[in-house]
Amino acid sequence: MKSQYTILIVEDESIVALDLQSRLQRLGYLAPAFVATGPDAIAKTVEIQPDLILMDIKLRGEMDGIEAARQIREQFDIPVIYLTAFADETTLQRAKITGPYGYLLKPFEERELLATIRMALYRYQAEAQVKASEAKFRSVIEQSNDGIVLLDEDGIILEWNAAQEDLTGWKRSVVLGLSFAEVQSKLVVSSVSPESGADKVVESLVDQLRRGDDSVVGVQMAETTIQRPDGAQRTVQSRHFVIQRESGYLIASINRDVTEQRQVEETIRQAQKMESLGVLAGGTAHDFNNLLVVILGQSSLALAKMGPTDPARAHVEKAVQAAEKASELTQKMLNFSGRGRFELQSVNLNDIIYENQSLYLALVPKRVRIELNLDEALPLIAADPGQIQQVVLNILLNAVEAIGGKPGVISISTRPYERMAGESTTWRYEDGTAVSGNYALLEIRDTGVGMDADTLAKIFDPFFTTKKLGRGLGMAAVLGIVRGHGGCVQMNSEPNAGSTFKALFPTTDKPLPAAKEDVAETAVASVADSSPRHVLVIDDEEGVCEAVTDILDIKEIPTLTALDGQAGLDIYRQRMNDIGLVLLDLSMPGMDGAETFRGLRQIDPQAPVILSSGYDEKDVFHQFDEQGALGFLQKPYNLVTLLETVGRHINSD
């Protein structure tokens, strides 16, 4: 508050003006000048910028005090107290329009003068504070990124800021004075629940205030889907609360567009669902493949024992055909789970990215920008396009989650890369199969929150996840796919510095080898007929063991069977001199195939083992550090496939 206030005196009687000037100075105010006309009053106001004006209504000239006060208030917003000897109703009504801060009826006492001045200055300062507060409040409302709506106690719209205009497509000038319920009825498409929509929340608050219930506290949330006039739908999250004022209550509604956030959450939920389904599909396909081995094996065996004219032959052939179609179905399930056979072909990594660019844009919210930096000189790679697409999508979804609700950038780059000897420490997630040479490099960089060292060290571990939901198989699947293509990966990240994923894929300069021809006749003929050695079948499915035994029996190949790994090791230890081949299933409870394989090699480093699984051959062999498995038998297999595989390896020494 100022120590001294300057007061301008506007009075056409010089004696009265001098007396008033003297009084003001005794009361501690500055009164540097007085004038006698309206124009002089305006000019002096410009010159000295007073804090208060004492204005006589009757002045010299054509402009009276009321007109002078009106112009001063409009131009300078300086408070005015009228001095007058006239108190007729007409004069007072004219003066009232100019918003005076007091009246002094001549003649007046000094104490009356002091009280009127003090009251006028106090009122003016209070109003100035209110105006400043309102201006600040207005600035907050207008600059807010969230839509803000203010309602009176009856739910009538008093305020509708620019962000709310952008969010809804409805202009402030249109909605002011309308009821909130009326506007919502034209906007809302749906609510999370009918009882918790924004219109219902506001209706409840209005009812409470109308009943005089002022116990409304806290913030009430709502989420609705609205449709803008242009047809676009947006998901709006609203917070509603009551503001108490001296003059009553306001209902405030703060609204945020969460459309992209909900889309990302839905994308992540779908990814997590697909991840879980992949685990289920892989397990189901494995069990189903074991059943198909039995069905195909026994059906094929039945066909081999039937004559060409056997009346049952056509029916068995149909059963075999149905089982083979079922085998195709299990392969699709394995592909879905990331454990299937790769359909390799010569491809350009850039083409895969370009072809799926629209999909990437659909999955990534608008606040996240995708930048492509693809080298046109990129060499070809031998890859399964679907599996490569899965790699890119997994990394993209993780990047979107890391960026969160703020704007960000995801850059996808490719370029030729020559991997030098000794880079294994750089490509620390390789499995040892990646060697020096020429590669195509895929790099995906994001501006997300990044990871600390502990999290980064576990990022590719199966079942490790930083999410509240999910099984943590996405990044493990990415690593498996890249390794399955003979490549390796690298992940770099720091907190608040984003993350960078890199993958190397070996290049190719020649077409893939042609598919193998049918060798059914030579397969059966190649099985040794003289003194064959035993085949040890280690499989936890009794039906598989029986089917293999029955099929090999037609070529008089003796078999030994074990339903678990430990039993298989015991039999091999006792009969290793009689065993010419071990057919080992990889997916067994307890001691699995990998552990059993190592046990066989400890007993006999040259143990002849063929691995069998419903999963892909490359994926299977990457589980083994040792070299030397003779081959791989993909489940499900039939009579011809089994005999061809066994015939190729038994007694080969």
Q: Which position has the higher pLDDT, 30 or 485?
A: 30
- Maximum average pLDDT range among 127-141, 475-489, 633-647: 633-647
Check residue 216 and give its pLDDT: 62
Check residue 171 and give its pLDDT: 92
Check residue 59 and give its pLDDT: 86
- What is the Cα–Cα distance from 119 to 117, expressed in whole angstroms? 5
Q: Cis omega (within 30 of 0) on the bond before 379? A: no
- What is the Cα–Cα distance from 12 to 540, expressed in whole angstroms? 117
- What is the Cα–Cα distance from 140 to 210, expressed in whole angstroms? 29
Calculate the alpha carbon distances from 245 to 137, 217, 228, 242, 427 in Å: 14, 14, 33, 10, 65
- Residue 467 pLDDT more than 80? no
Let me know: does 43 contact 88? Beta carbons within 8 Å. Answer: no
- Residue 331 pLDDT more than 90? no
Check residue 341 and give its pLDDT: 57
Angle, alpha carbons 93-17-126 (nearest 5°): 55
Cα–Cα nearest to 365, from 235, 487, 252, 477: 235
- What is the Cα–Cα distance from 3 to 27, expressed in whole angstroms? 12
Q: For 369-373, which contacts have Cβ atoms below 8 Å and span 24 or more sequence positions? A: 369/407, 369/408, 369/409, 369/410, 370/409, 370/410, 370/411, 370/412, 371/409, 371/410, 371/411, 371/412, 372/411, 372/412, 372/413, 373/411, 373/412, 373/413, 373/414
**Average pLDDT rounded to a whole number, residues 111-120:** 90
Q: Which position has the higher pLDDT, 180 or 465?
A: 180
Helix 198-210 with 180-187: angle, nearest 10 deg:
170
Calculate the alpha carbon distances from 286 to 204, 218, 230, 616 in Å: 57, 55, 51, 11
Name residues whose C-beta falls within 8 Å of residue 110's C-beta, 6 or more positions apart in sequence. 23, 26, 27
**Average pLDDT rounded to a whole number, residues 180-185:** 87
- What is the Cα–Cα distance from 256 to 527, expressed in whole angstroms? 74
Which residue is listed with tokens 């394995």? 334
Mean pLDDT for the chain? Answer: 79
Percent of the chain with pLDDT over 70: 78
Check residue 190 and give its pLDDT: 72
Cα–Cα nearest to 391, from 554, 501, 526, 280: 501
Buried b / exposed e over 547-558, threshold 16 CB at 10 Å, is bbbbbbeebebe
Check residue 444 and give its pLDDT: 94
- Residue 512 pLDDT more than 60? no
- Residue 411 pLDDT more than 90? yes
Check residue 617 and give its pLDDT: 56
The conformation of residue 518, written as its DSSP 8-state character, comes to P
Question: Minimum mean pLDDT among 6-10, 95-99, 182-186, 189-193: which range?
Answer: 189-193
- What is the Cα–Cα distance from 218 to 194, expressed in whole angstroms? 21
User: CB 444: neighbour CB atoms within 10 A?
Assistant: 21
Cα–Cα nearest to 556, from 521, 525, 531: 531
* Cα dihedral 172, 174, 176, 182 in deg (nearest 10): -120
The conformation of residue 507, written as its DSSP 8-state character, comes to B
- What is the Cα–Cα distance from 563 to 289, expressed in whole angstroms? 17
Structural domains in the chain, CATH included, are 7-140 (3.40.50.2300), 144-257 (3.30.450.20), 345-506 (3.30.565.10), 520-649 (3.40.50.2300)
Name residues whose C-beta falls within 8 Å of residue 518's C-beta, 6 or more positions apart in sequence. none
SS3 279: helix
Name residues whose C-beta falls within 8 Å of residue 445's C-beta, 6 or more positions apart in sequence. 410, 411, 413, 498, 499, 500, 501
Check residue 6 and give its pLDDT: 92
pLDDT confidence tier of residue 323, bands split at 50, 70 and 90: confident
Check residue 630 and give its pLDDT: 80
Cα–Cα nearest to 290, from 320, 322, 327, 325: 327
Cα–Cα nearest to 33, from 51, 52, 54, 8: 8
**Average pLDDT rounded to a whole number, residues 263-270:** 64
Question: Minimum mean pLDDT among 89-93, 423-427, 483-487: which range?
Answer: 423-427
Check residue 623 and give its pLDDT: 58
Calculate the alpha carbon distances from 255 to 164, 228, 403, 488 in Å: 7, 15, 22, 47
In sequence order, what are the beta bridge partners of 187? none
Check residue 281 and give its pLDDT: 56
Angle, alpha carbons 490-383-372 (nearest 5°): 60
pLDDT confidence tier of residue 515, bands split at 50, 70 and 90: very low
- Residue 294 pLDDT more than 50? yes
Q: Which position has the higher pLDDT, 327 or 438?
A: 438
Check residue 105 and give its pLDDT: 85
pLDDT confidence tier of residue 39, bands split at 50, 70 and 90: very high
Question: Minimum mean pLDDT among 19-28, 513-522, 642-651: which range?
Answer: 513-522
Percent of the chain with pLDDT over 90: 15
User: CB 47: neighbour CB atoms within 10 A?
Assistant: 11
Render 348-382 in DSSP notation, one character per residue.
-HHHHHHHTHHHHHHHS-TTEEEEEEE-TTPPPEE
Look up residue 87 and give its two tokens. 């108190």
- Residue 530 pLDDT more than 50? no
Check residue 619 and give its pLDDT: 53
* Cα dihedral 167, 168, 172, 174 in deg (nearest 10): 170
pLDDT digits (tens, 9 = 90+) for 435-455: 668 899 999 999 988 888 778
pLDDT confidence tier of residue 527, bands split at 50, 70 and 90: very low
Q: Cis omega (within 30 of 0) on the bond before 605? A: no
Check residue 618 and give its pLDDT: 55
Element (DSSP H or E) covering residue 47: helix 38-48
pLDDT confidence tier of residue 334, bands split at 50, 70 and 90: low
Check residue 627 and give its pLDDT: 56
- Residue 585 pLDDT more than 50? yes
Check residue 447 and give its pLDDT: 92
φ, ψ dihedrals at 381, nearest 5°? -130, 155
pLDDT confidence tier of residue 581, bands split at 50, 70 and 90: very high
- Residue 637 pLDDT more than 60? yes
Strands 408-419 and 80-84 come out as unpaired
Check residue 374 and give its pLDDT: 93
Cα–Cα nearest to 167, from 225, 120, 123: 225
The distance in angstroms from the start CA to the end CA of the chain is: 108
pLDDT digits (tens, 9 = 90+) for 354-402: 988 877 887 788 889 999 999 999 999 988 887 888 888 888 888 888 8
Question: Minimum mean pLDDT among 204-213, 326-335, 510-519: which range?
Answer: 510-519
pLDDT digits (tens, 9 = 90+) for 374-386: 999 999 998 888 7
Q: Which position has the higher pLDDT, 274 or 488?
A: 488
**Average pLDDT rounded to a whole number, residues 509-519:** 48
Question: Minimum mean pLDDT among 168-172, 260-264, 351-355, 508-512: which range?
Answer: 508-512
Let me know: does 297 contact 280? Beta carbons within 8 Å. Answer: no
**Average pLDDT rounded to a whole number, residues 586-606:** 86
Kindly list the strands in the beta sheet with 157-160, ordered across the sheet, starting from the edge strand earlier in the chain. Answer: 157-160, 147-151, 248-257, 233-245, 220-227, 188-191
pLDDT confidence tier of residue 615, bands split at 50, 70 and 90: low
Check residue 471 and give its pLDDT: 44
Question: Minimum mean pLDDT among 135-139, 140-144, 227-231, 584-588: which range?
Answer: 135-139
